[in-house]
Amino acid sequence: MSTPDSGRRRIPRSVATGLPLALAAVLVAAGTATAALSRGARVVRTATLGEIPLGAFSNALLPGSVDDDHGVKLGGIGSDIYPAGRKGEYWTVTDRGPNGQIKVDGTKRRTFPVPGFDPAIVKIRVSGDTIQVVDAIPLTTSSGKAVTGLPDQQGRDEAPYTYDAKTPLPYDPNGLDTEGIVRAADGTFWLVDEYGPSLIHVSARGKVLTRYVPKGLGLTGTDYPVVEALPSVFLHRKVNRGFEGLAQLPDGDLVMALQSPLSLPDTDTGDASRTTRLLRFSPRAKAVTAEYAYRFDPVNVVDPGEDDTSELKIPSLVAVGGDRLLVEERTDKAARLQLVRLKRTSSILGGPWDDGSTSPSLEQLDDPASAGVPLPAKRLVVDLNTVGGVPQKVEGIARVDHDTLALANDNDFGMTDGAGAFDAQGRLVDSGIRTTVVDVRLPRGL
């Protein structure tokens, strides 16, 4: 008789167990001691974005794309931030647009109040205490149409609904939930997306040149080229937890971070796991060249007020020279930045952990190092919880100079969840959270 594990590749149980409670205690103590090194960090500038009607912004880029913005203002541009060359100027990217959740008959429905919104690359200038939009580039398909931020595939992505969660909206295979952004030396952009999850190459004017997705995704009907070049195991990403962080190393290679652990073999495992993954991609070879297992600190170390491990996320990566990265570990209320070194010898690409039938999976291991999984070394640089003036939900980080970082928050377009997100006239009840960029000076340089 077959069992639930039949056909799954097995790892000896002795390497799947460890001393998780003792290990957590050690990590708590180490995190507390290292946090003392970051207490000299301080905010040296805070700037906010003014109110720009989302319909006016979108229609200026693609006329007629938005017929009713329901009172939503431009936001979400803090999904990532990348230096644009001149001091105080940055390339940013919106996510898929305003969206929320409303419970109907006991089930949450994903709402898209402005379904015509097209994700965009937005160039900003931080001047004094204000953020100015100096350029905006719509993301378009090969034929120049909006990619939209609507989900791609029925049965894989959340079903989209109107602002009141009453009317279904169509899926869009071109849809992108964009997050990280970097600009290449040739002027093109690279983005990551949560739906696929995907790595996207975009022209200097926003046309999608190629979307790289996991092998076996089977995405059809797109109006741009799709290449299945990423490990198939990434098909097991959590809903709404695909790629979010993206960094460009000095040699031009890209590193992308899976926001949360894979759901392997199931959702409960992914929610309880502290091991997510990073991928290294060569634009020259157009291929993944390395994969790394990344281990979060315990959730109550990252956020002392949180006990739900599933709240851990990587929203941002920043290259700081050679093979070193800043990696942000956060919940919605707290964040810490780790300095991580990626060694080629730490790659797990092509091994048993890329096989979805391996049992126990990488995500099930209480102590991956004891199981022989190489983990990149990391060191706490700054505990943002100890720095006054840092906004919540920081998703974009850029290096200003050797000891200063620019941090941008995702304000979710001023949206909240629940039926009260819009008034009786269908106008947004704004959360009051503004898009903010803060400069944080570290006690010592990177």
Q: What is the mean pLDDT of residues 66-87?
A: 97
> Given pLDDT bands bounded at 50, 70 and 90, which one contains residue 24?
very low
Whether 11 has a pLDDT exceeding 60, the answer reads no
Over range 18-40, report the average pLDDT: 44
Q: Which two tokens stand for residue 359?
A: 């049992």
* Residue 69 one-letter amino acid: D
Overall average pLDDT of the 231-237 stretch: 98
Q: Which two tokens stand for residue 313?
A: 């996320």
Q: Distance between CA atoms of 431 and 332, rounded to whole angstroms?
A: 15
Amino acid at 254: L
Q: What is the pLDDT of residue 446?
A: 79
Confirm if 181 and 189 have CB atoms less than 8 A apart.
yes
How far apart, in whole angstroms, are the C-alpha atoms of residue 356 and residue 173? 25
Architecture of domain 9-441: 6 Propeller (2.120)
Tens of pLDDT, residues 367-381: 999 999 999 999 999
pTM of the model: 0.92
Q: Is 36 helix (H, G, I), strand (E, B) or coil?
A: helix
Peptide bond into 265 cis (omega under 30): yes
Q: How far apart are CA 44 and CA 129, in angstroms?
A: 11
Q: How far apart are CA 150 and CA 117, in angstroms?
A: 9
**Of 145, 91, 94, residue with least CA distance to 120:** 94
User: Is residue 38 very low, low, confident or very high in pLDDT (cuts 50, 70, 90)?
Assistant: low
Give residue 445's pLDDT.
81
List the domain boundaries for the chain.
9-441
Task: Give 319-337 pLDDT, tens digit per residue.
Answer: 998 999 999 999 999 999 9
Closest residue by Cα to residue 263 from 284, 285, 241: 241
pLDDT, tens digit (0-9, with 9 covering 90-100), for 284-295: 999 999 999 999
Average pLDDT for 223-238 = 98
When pLDDT is averaged across residues 175-201 and rounded to a whole number, the result is 98
